[in-house]
């Protein structure tokens, strides 16, 4: 098909969507960015400083500004919902109005965005206890809205709330088959942001990486 014709068809499709009052999901990846392979994460884990958790004194989620505006009226949460879902349609305010979402943590499928939470793989409070208490606000904002690394994922609200701010030695995804990806994602995020791990957290991550095949 000639380039001009493809362009005209694309413009026509976009106009049809706008007239219907809905907006398509932003083009891009179809899932959370793939974390590094297990062997790389094992090596990164060995470089992390092992330390007891820092105190929670002074912590507030507001010190990690989220969800940040990404484009148009779309904030980070809506971008992740569009990225992680199937057949997602958004209204003119960028809210997901239809689609389906598969929760990697517990293997459940949902047809309402209201049943999905966007989880910080390494929770904000865990990051605070691991060294983010010394960061400035721009660094915390970057961490809380990081779409480049495997830090944000759409999962069932129930699994996200069961996890809370717990590290892998205290909570692991109910779906054991996801442990490998979870440990790789957690470890790589901590490595990138130079965050500490506890001794028991490191053991748990190593055990989960052992499930990688």
* Mean pLDDT of the region 14-41: 62
Residue with tokens 């994922």: 153
pLDDT tier, 5 (very low <50, low <70, confident <90, very high otherwise): very low
pLDDT of 15 strictly over 80: no
Q: What is the pLDDT of residue 213?
A: 87
pLDDT digits (tens, 9 = 90+) for 52-111: 999 999 999 999 999 999 999 999 999 999 999 999 999 999 999 999 999 999 999 999
Q: What is the pLDDT of residue 99?
A: 98
Q: What is the pLDDT of residue 30?
A: 65
User: What is the percentage of the chain residues whose pLDDT exceeds 70?
Assistant: 86
Q: What is the pLDDT of residue 192?
A: 98
Q: What is the pLDDT of residue 31?
A: 86
* Three-state secondary structure readout of the chain: CCHHHHHHHHHHHHHHHHHHCEEECCCCCCCCCCCCCHHHHHHHHHHCCECCCCCCCCCCHHHCCCCCEEECCEEHHHHHHHHHEEEEEEECCCCEEEEEEEECCCCEEECCHHHEEEEECCCHHHHHHCCHHHCCHHHHHHHHCCCCCCCEEEEEHHHHHHHCCCCCCCCCCCCHHHHHHHHHHHHHHHHHCCCCECHHHHHHHHHHHCCCC
pLDDT digits (tens, 9 = 90+) for 203-212: 999 999 999 9
Provide the 10 A C-beta neighbour count for residue 62.
Answer: 9
- Nearest alpha carbon to residue 108 among 45, 173, 50, 198: 173
pLDDT digits (tens, 9 = 90+) for 152-199: 999 999 999 999 999 999 999 999 999 999 999 999 999 999 999 999
Q: What is the pLDDT of residue 1?
A: 39
Indicate the pTM of the whole model: 0.86
């Amino acid at each position: 098909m000639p380039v001009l014709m493809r362009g005209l068809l694309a413009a026509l499709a976009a106009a049809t969507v706008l007239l219907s009052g809905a907006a398509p999901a932003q083009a891009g990846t179809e899932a959370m960015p793939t974390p590094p392979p297990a062997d790389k994460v094992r090596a990164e884990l060995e470089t992390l400083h092992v330390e007891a958790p820092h105190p929670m004194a002074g912590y507030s989620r507001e010190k990690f500004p989220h969800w940040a505006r990404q484009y148009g009226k779309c904030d980070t949460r809506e971008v992740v919902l569009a990225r992680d879902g199937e057949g997602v349609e958004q209204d003119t305010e960028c809210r997901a109005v239809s689609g389906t979402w598969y929760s990697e943590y517990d293997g459940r499928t949902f047809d309402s965005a209201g049943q999905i939470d966007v989880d910080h793989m390494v929770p904000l409070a865990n990051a605070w206890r691991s060294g983010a208490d010394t960061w400035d606000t721009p660094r915390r904002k970057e961490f809380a809205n990081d779409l480049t690394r495997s830090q944000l994922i759409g999962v069932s609200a129930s699994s996200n709330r069961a996890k809370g701010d717990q590290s892998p030695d205290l909570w692991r995804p109910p779906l054991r088959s996801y442990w490998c990806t979870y440990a790789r994602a957690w470890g790589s995020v901590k490595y990138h942001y130079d965050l500490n791990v506890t001794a028991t957290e490191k053991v748990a991550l190593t055990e989960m990486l052992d499930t990688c095949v």
